Structure 1
Amino acid sequence: MISVKMQEAINNQVQEELYSAYLYLAMAADSEEKNLKGFANWLRVQYQEETGHAMKLHQYVLERGGKVSLKAIQAPPAEFGTPLQVFEQVLKHEQHVTSLINKLYETAVSEKDYAAQIFLQWFIEEQVEEEGNATEILEKLRMVGERSGAVLYLDKELKKRVAE
């Protein structure tokens, strides 16, 4: 059985993951409006991943005999700037999510919830990957600077990303 404190912490993380999904969907729409279909595709796949993360947490609470309590999701911004600015925000957001996952793990430790600690290992590893992917794209955007041809090449490359 899951403790009330752990249940509440995971329910809060579900909200955070759904906000992340909403944020990436808004970023995808902004990119699409700018005719950057590859960036939009990458961000839509990210939206799907974040939704999957929320569902994984949601299901865990239920499997542990807890109660899922969904909370309101804040509206994200509608405009995000250049691709470089978008990926600066993506990396900053993923770093924020990493800190939330770390706090969630700390809660599992303080609650002596060994099952949650094992479960959360996947999320810890996932955040390493998320930050790495965002950093790689951000560094490439910094490298190419304002050269539109290079940005369009990256856009073409990002169009190849598919949901796993």
Structure 2
Amino acid sequence: MTLKAAKPEDRESKFHQLLQKQVRSEFNASQQYIALAVWFDKSDLPRLAAHFYKQALEERNHGMMIVRFLMDNDISVHIPGTDEVRNEFNEARELVALALEQEREVTREIEMLAKTARAEDDYIGEQFMQWFLKEQVEEVSQMSTLLTVIDRANGNLFEVETFLTRENVGDGGEDPSAPEAAGGAV
């Protein structure tokens, strides 16, 4: 009797399928953050623009961390296209409220991934998701704080710019415990 080696696609579980979808979600978030950054950049708000350009890179890196995990576990990787992003806004609050809702949605997705890994007894997958769970707490917190600051500024976005210059919002994307990103983090 000859044993055939399992092909990577034969090993795909529901958890792995959800990870594939999460790559798309992370890339969509990255693209949306670029659109927000450009809006702030065009509005001559450099600190807000820089904040969202940085967020775009973080989300790209998150997607590439998942890609690396899949490759390292011999699971076929499919790089997805991205959805359309919103580009038209009337005021800064809309952009940050959108970012906060986006982070809350990603948190729900990450929680589902962790639950699925656990339900499938995929201990490696469950461990991988722990960093993302921690990261989402920070992501939601920073967007919530930024929205509060915008609300308190009563339309004076230079106060928000000053806040971002003075305060360290987020981890700067430099977490030594972060999973490796395929191709390296940027």
Identify whether the pair has TM-score above 0.5, normalized to the shorter chain.
yes
Which residue number corresponds to residue 90 of structure 2? 81
Letter of the 1:39 counterpart: L
Distance 1:64 1:80 in 2: 42
Alignment of 1:11-160 (within 5 A): 11-146=20-155, 148=156, 151-158=157-164
Q: Flag structure 2 segments of 5+ consecutive residues without an equivalent.
A: 1-7, 175-186
Distance 1:154 1:144 in 2: 7
The alignment of Structure 1 onto Structure 2 pairs a total of residues equal to 161
Distance 1:9 1:105 in 2: 10
**For 1:69-96, what per-residue CA distance to the aligned partner results, in whole angstroms no more than 9, with x for missing partners?**
1222112011233221211111111000
**TM-fit CA distance, 1:6:** 2.2
Letter of the 2:97 counterpart: E
The sequence identity of aligned pairs, in percent, is: 25
Alpha-carbon RMSD across the aligned residues, in angstroms, is 1.7
Select the structure with the greater relative contact order (CA < 8 A; seq sep ≥ 6): 1
**Residue 20 of structure 2 contacts residue 77 of structure 2 at CA under 8 Å; is this kept in 1?**
yes
**TM-fit CA distance, 1:9:** 1.0
**For 1:83-127, what per-residue CA distance to the aligned partner results, in whole angstroms no more than 9, with x for missing partners?**
212111111110000001011112111211000101100000000
Which structure has the larger Rg over C-alpha atoms? 2
**Residue 40 of structure 2 contacts residue 46 of structure 2 at CA under 8 Å; is this kept in 1?**
yes
**Residue 33 of structure 2 contacts residue 55 of structure 2 at CA under 8 Å; is this kept in 1?**
yes
Distance 2:164 2:25 in 1: 25
Aligned-partner SS, 2:14: helix
Distance 1:74 1:61 in 2: 22
Distance 2:140 2:85 in 1: 20
Aligned-partner SS, 2:15: helix
Which structure shows the bigger proportion of residues in helix conformation?
A: 1
**TM-fit CA distance, 1:3:** 3.3
Q: Flag structure 1 segments of 5+ consecutive residues without an equivalent.
A: none
Letter of the 2:158 counterpart: L
Letter of the 1:152 counterpart: F
The farther-off stretch of 82-91 and 114-123 is: 82-91
Letter of the 1:98 counterpart: T
Aligned-partner SS, 2:141: helix
TM-score where L is the length of structure 2: 0.81
**Residue 7 of structure 1 contacts residue 67 of structure 1 at CA under 8 Å; is this kept in 2?**
no
